[in-house]
Chains A and B, each alone.
Chain A
Amino acid sequence: MKADARESSPVLEAYDLEVTYAQTSVLWIPHLTLHEGERLVLIGPNGAGKTTLLRVLATLQKPSRGRIVYRGHVLDRRRARVYRRRVAVVLHPPPLLDLSVYHNVALGLYLRGMRGATVRARVMEWLQRFHVHHLAQRRALGLSRGELQRVALARAFVLEPDILFLDEPFSGLDEPTRERLLPDVRRNLEATGITTFLITHNREDALALGDRVAVMLAGRICQIGTPQEVFTAPVSVDVARFVGADNILPAEVVRATSLTRVRCLPEGPELLSTRRAPKQEVLVCVRPEHVRLADESMSAQAPGVDFEARVEEVVPLGTRVRVRLRCGGVTLSALWDYVYWQTSPARVGARVILHVAADHVHLLPSP
Chain B
Amino acid sequence: MDIILEGGREAIRLLLNADPYVLEVTALTLRVSGTATIIAVVLGVPLGTLLAFSPFPGRRYVMAALNTGMGLPPVVVGLVVALMLWRSGPLGALGLIYTPTAMILAQAIIALPIVTALSMAALQQLDPQLHWQLLGLGASPVQLVLLLLWESRLLLMAAMIAAFGAVISEVGASLMVGGNIAHQTRVLTTATVLETSRGNFDRAIALSLILLILAYLITLVLTTVQQRARRW
Partner of B137, one of A100, A108, A139: A108
Considering the chains assembled together, what is the distance between the CA atoms of A94 and B140 in angstroms?
19
Which residues on A sit within 8 Å (CB–CB) of B231? Answer: 139
List B residues 138-190 near A (Cβ within 8 Å): 138-140, 143, 147, 150-151
By the criterion CB–CB under 8 Å, are A91 and B151 in contact? no
By the criterion CB–CB under 8 Å, are B136 and A98 in contact? no
Give the B interface residue count (CB, 8 A).
17
Considering the chains assembled together, what is the distance between the CA atoms of A165 and B143 in angstroms?
21
List B residues 207-227 near A (Cβ within 8 Å): none
Partner of B129, one of A84, A95, A100, A112: A95
- Chain B nearest CB from A55 CB (Å) reads 6
By the criterion CB–CB under 8 Å, are B132 and A81 in contact? no
14 new A-B contacts at CB < 8 Å, known A89-B136, A89-B137: A55-B132, A84-B136, A88-B137, A94-B133, A95-B129, A95-B133, A98-B151, A108-B137, A108-B138, A111-B139, A111-B143, A112-B138, A155-B137, A156-B137
A320 interface residue, CB < 8 Å from B? Answer: no
Knowing A97-B150, A99-B232, the reply to whether A91 touches B137 (Cβ < 8 A) is no
A-B interface, 4 closest residue pairs, ranked by CB to CB distance from nearest: A89-B136, A85-B138, A108-B137, A95-B130
Q: Spell out B's residues near A (CB within 8 Å).
A: 127, 129-130, 132-133, 135-140, 143, 147, 150-151, 231-232
Main secondary structure of the interface of B (DSSP, over half): helix
By the criterion CB–CB under 8 Å, are A100 and B136 in contact? no
By the criterion CB–CB under 8 Å, are B138 and A91 in contact? no
Knowing A89-B132, A100-B232, A111-B143, the reply to whether A95 touches B127 (Cβ < 8 A) is yes
Which residues on B sit within 8 Å (CB–CB) of A97? Answer: 130, 147, 150-151
Interface residues on A, range: 20 to 34
Which residues on A sit within 8 Å (CB–CB) of B150? Answer: 97-98
Partner of B132, one of A87, A91, A98, A99: A91
Considering the chains assembled together, what is the distance between the CA atoms of A165 and B132 in angstroms?
12
Partner of B133, one of A87, A91, A112: A91
Give 18 pairs: A residue, B residue, CB < 8 Å, sorted on A. Answer: A60-B135, A84-B138, A88-B137, A90-B136, A91-B133, A94-B133, A95-B130, A95-B133, A97-B130, A98-B150, A98-B151, A98-B232, A99-B232, A108-B137, A108-B138, A111-B137, A112-B138, A139-B231
